[in-house]
Amino acid sequence: MDYGGSALFIGVGATLVMDLWTIARRRLFGTPLANYGLVGRWFAHMTLGRFRHEHIAAAPPMLGERVIGWTAHYLIGIVLAGLLLAICGVAWARQPTLAPALAFGIATVAAPFLLMQPGMGAGIAAGRMPQPNAARVQSLITHTVFGIGLYAAGLVLSFLSGE
């Protein structure tokens, strides 16, 4: 499979693994599900020139914010998978290994810590949240699972491609 197709398959697969983990976490520990509607609200407000909010939940709702949020969630997963392939080479998708995928997945926690959480009003690395350390740990675990998902999706792609 080519670079774009591999990034698409691995990105969607890894994001799906992350979402399945989120569902399992809710059932096992009662942790609330991520609200991608608020992510969509944040992105939708960017079209109006507003990139930072005190509390994104208090910002005016935007038309289609849930669809925008879920679409952005999966597109981000695809872009991140593309970055992994750019770093490791497309050959990684033919013979995936855990270490690069796991390290990259963990590194992706920088995006919510430094971009999304501050932009949505939670502060750098959830510093303005009521329990910042708990939020940080959950983000780190979720992005570790994303890394495992990158590897798992790579394995599935390799198998389906007959590599």
pLDDT classification of 163: cutoffs 50, 70, 90: low
Has residue 116 got a pLDDT over 70?
A: yes
pLDDT classification of 162: cutoffs 50, 70, 90: confident
For 31-68, letters b (16+ CB in 10 Å) and e give eeebebbbbbbbbbbeeeeeeebeebeebeebeebbeb
Average pLDDT of the chain is 96
pLDDT classification of 140: cutoffs 50, 70, 90: very high
Record the pTM: 0.94
In whole angstroms, give the CA distance from residue 37 to residue 2.
32
Q: Quick one: what percent of the chain has pLDDT higher than 70?
A: 99
